[in-house]
Structure 1
Amino acid sequence: MVTPAVRPRPVPPPRPAPARVPDGCPLTASELAVLAAAAAGEISQETAARLHLSYETIRTARRRARTRLRARTPEQAVAIAAAAGWITVPAPAPRTAR
């Protein structure tokens, strides 16, 4: 009897170390990372690919951040976190004339 060849499992890339959460911040490091990505204009799929997480994990982090900050919209959650100094919002790119 021939035994089937065993394929080794692919090793996933290492996840980035969680950032330090500022004192007094009610959010987790992953929630802050997701809000910072949203502030930079990333969509959930891009954030999921960059952080090697599932799309649903990113959606959950955004929802929980919104709930913890008592924000009604994701944009309001980003504004609250930026106003508190927990994340930085990049300056918008200058528009070019057509």
Structure 2
Amino acid sequence: MRQVQTLCITAQQKAYVEHRKVYVSIQDSILVDEVEYGIPKDIACDSVSFYYNAKGNMSKAFSFHCSNTNTKMKLVFQVGAGRVRLEKE
């Protein structure tokens, strides 16, 4: 989850610095601006797609959940500020 959080923060910074939309899609893998990152097979995550606009703001607010046999985690994405925080469930 910390890696997902870092990828999202990096995508936000890229959108802001390059003054353009940067898309993020999380399905069976994580796709950030057309670069694919794997998710370990023992981790199950929600599916979600969104983008950061040229000002670094998110297209929508939501909570994103991942879990394995030991732990459930949640990332909370706040629209407006584009902030993301990690919470253990």
Judge same fold: TM > 0.5, yes or no: no
Q: Which has the higher helix share?
A: 1
Structure ID, larger Rg: 1
Structure 1 or 2: more strand by fraction: 2
Please report the TM-score for the alignment, with normalisation by the length of structure 1. 0.27
